[in-house]
């Protein structure tokens, strides 16, 4: 009997973020966000983000040069992490705030800009506070 081809998506393996200045962006994601830098090759820098690889690279072609989708980074204490970013000079797009009750948890979100002007977010699911 022939083997069955598994056609399911298993997980997100890599996310790419367009950057203008690779050196500046690498420093931002490593030093400001604290992501583990994996390696750099010509025109690309890679990080580990909880098992998903994050790639920073300039757009290869003009039609691919566009703002990135919003990445939501999960943190344990959104207020403290957000404050540490602001203290480090990261541009905040407002304080973290309650977004929705998810049953037993409350979803909190806070937005910021990376070194290249891309909109990014922090998120935390806190125990329901009543």
pLDDT value at position 130?
67
Adjacent-strand bridge partners of 14: 53
CA 76/CA 30 separation, integer angstroms:
18
Mean pLDDT over 26-49 rounds to: 96
Does residue 42 carry a pLDDT above 80?
A: yes
Per residue in 107-122, pLDDT tens?
999 999 999 999 999 9
Q: How many other β-carbons are positioned within 10 Å of the β-carbon of residue 10?
A: 6
Distances (CA, A) of 43 to 18, 21, 46, 90: 11, 10, 10, 24
* CATH number of this structure's domain 11-60, picked from the four choices 3.40.50.720, 3.90.226.10, 3.40.50.150, 3.10.180.10: 3.10.180.10
User: Which one has a higher pLDDT value, 60 or 18?
Assistant: 18
CA 16/CA 54 separation, integer angstroms:
6
> pLDDT class for 95, splitting at 50, 70, 90?
very high
pLDDT value at position 103?
87
The CATH fold of domain 67-130: 2,3-Dihydroxybiphenyl 1,2-Dioxygenase; domain 1 (3.10.180)
CA 4/CA 128 separation, integer angstroms:
44
pLDDT value at position 97?
97
Q: In this predicted structure, which of 65-74, 83-92, 110-119 has the lowest mean pLDDT?
A: 65-74
Question: What are the phi and psi torsion angles at 82 (to 5°)?
Answer: -60, -45
Distances (CA, A) of 22 to 2, 15, 30, 81, 96: 47, 15, 12, 24, 28
CA 25/CA 2 separation, integer angstroms:
48
């Amino acid at each position: 009997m022939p083997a069955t081809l598994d056609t399911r998506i298993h997980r997100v393996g890599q996310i790419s973020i367009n950057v203008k200045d690779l050196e500046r962006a690498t420093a931002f994601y490593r030093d400001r966000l604290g992501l583990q830098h994996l390696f750099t090759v010509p025109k690309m820098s890679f990080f580990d983000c909880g098992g998903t690889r994050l790639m920073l690279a300039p757009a290869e072609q003009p039609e691919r040069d566009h703002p990135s989708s919003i990445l939501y980074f999960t943190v344990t204490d959104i207020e403290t992490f957000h404050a540490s970013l602001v203290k480090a000079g990261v541009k905040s797009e407002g304080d973290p705030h309650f977004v929705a009750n998810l049953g037993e948890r409350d979803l909190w979100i806070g937005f910021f800009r990376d070194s290249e002007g891309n909109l990014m977010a922090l998120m935390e699911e806190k125990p329901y506070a009543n």
